[in-house]
Structure 1
Amino acid sequence: MYKEILFFNRKALFNYDFFESYIAGIQLFGTEIKSIRLNKVSISESFCKMQNNELYIINMFISKYEWVTTFENYSPRRDRKLLMKSSELRKIECKIKKYRFTIIPTKLFINKKGYAKLKIVLAKGRKLVNKRDIIKYKEIERDIIN
């Protein structure tokens, strides 16, 4: 399924409980895919938002490709459209309204055809108490193993 996983959002594993996942394409400029292949991208602070029945990733950082001089007004954190089927978008929108989910990107990878894909997850934020419990359980497991 995956050719290579370029980025994995570890912060999301700690801050959110995951419920359902989808895979979406990303609408990019030609130079942005080159920057992604050079690992000059970050999804750790990004999130997704529904706007006009379309899904956008917000605050995803893709640095400017260094060998191109034609983009003077390039914005590395611009909103990028996610490419999904309309039926999937309707399902996501209904679940967001009904269960108050957040859409979080977890993996950025390049598939076998060479397209950049993003794995997004419907998630709910964890409370501080739950985060403390997770840290406590990890420490206990570490002590048992050692």
Structure 2
Amino acid sequence: MKKSRFSNDINIRNRQAGFEYELMDKYVAGMVLTGTEIKSIREGKANLQDGYCYLSNNEMFVKGINITPYAQGTHYNHEATRERKLLLKRSELKKLEGKVEEKGLTLVPTRLFINDRGLAKLEFAVAKGKKMHDKRDNIRERDAKRELNRLKLK
């Protein structure tokens, strides 16, 4: 059986978001993509590191996500870092609009995946930026848990 370069079990994570932000509520939204963008995502060629979501005119967009241009694409190929529209219900948009207006909260993409129907979905979280001492506390807690696990295994 020939292995395809396209995959339906794509799960691209933004690991840096967990270090930089305190993640609160998570939401899943569909994305408006072009044909070459979904092909690149199925190849696993996307980067969420610099991405952020914002609301504009009762619509939500994600900006800064880098989806590498498709190698076999022609002049119809997409721009790598263009802003993409997210598909959410109006009630979810209203709820998110209220949360983002609070001081210090932002929307950060955490995961890009292909669901069981073959559609690309973006998981994002309402997040609050961590201070430097918060990051050090998290590192200290993680090290303590690791030590406890080592002692339990012995």
Q: How does 1:125-136 map to 2 (within 5 A)?
A: 125-136=129-140
Equivalences, count: 143
Cα distance, 1:56 vs. partner?
Answer: 0.6
CA–CA separation in structure 2 for the residues paired with 1:77 and 1:44: 12
> What letter matches 1:8 in structure 2?
R
2:32–2:86 Cα contact (<8 Å) kept:
yes
2:96 to 86, 92, 95: 92
- Conserved 8 A contact 2:105-2:127: yes
Partners of 1:46 and 1:104 within 8 A in 2: yes
The equivalent of 1:41 in structure 2 is 46
- Map residues 1-146 of structure 1 onto 2, 5 A cutoff: 4-71=9-76, 74-146=78-150
Q: In the alignment, residue 11 of structure 1 is paired with which amino acid? A: Q
Structure 1 stretches (4+) deviating beyond 3 angstroms?
none
8 Å contact kept, 1:49–1:55: yes
8 Å contact from structure 2 (residues 10, 42) kept in 1? no
Point out where structure 1 has 5 or more consecutive residues left out of the alignment.
Answer: none
**Identical amino acids, percent of aligned pairs:** 41
Inter-partner Cα distance in structure 1 for 2:145 and 2:116: 37
Name the SS for the 1:68 alignment partner. Answer: coil
Any idea what the Cα deviations from partners look like across 1:81-119, whole Å, max 9, x if unmatched?
A: 001111110110011113541101111111111110011
Q: What is the alpha-carbon distance in structure 2 between the residues aligned to residue 145 and residue 87 of structure 1?
A: 43
CA distance in 1, matches of 2:86, 2:14: 17
- Larger Rg: 1 or 2? 2
My pick for the range that moved more, 5-14 or 125-134, is 5-14
- What is the DSSP-based 3-state SS (H/G/I as helix, E as strand, rest coil) of the residue aligned with 1:13? helix
Q: TM-score, normalised by structure 1?
A: 0.91
Answer yes or no: is the 8 Å Cα contact 2:14–2:110 preserved in 1.
yes
Q: Distance in 2 between matches of 1:10 and 1:80?
A: 21
Unaligned runs of 5+ in 2: 1-7
| Superposition TM-score, scaled by structure 2 size | 0.87
Residues of 1 paired with 2:117 and 2:75: CA distance?
27
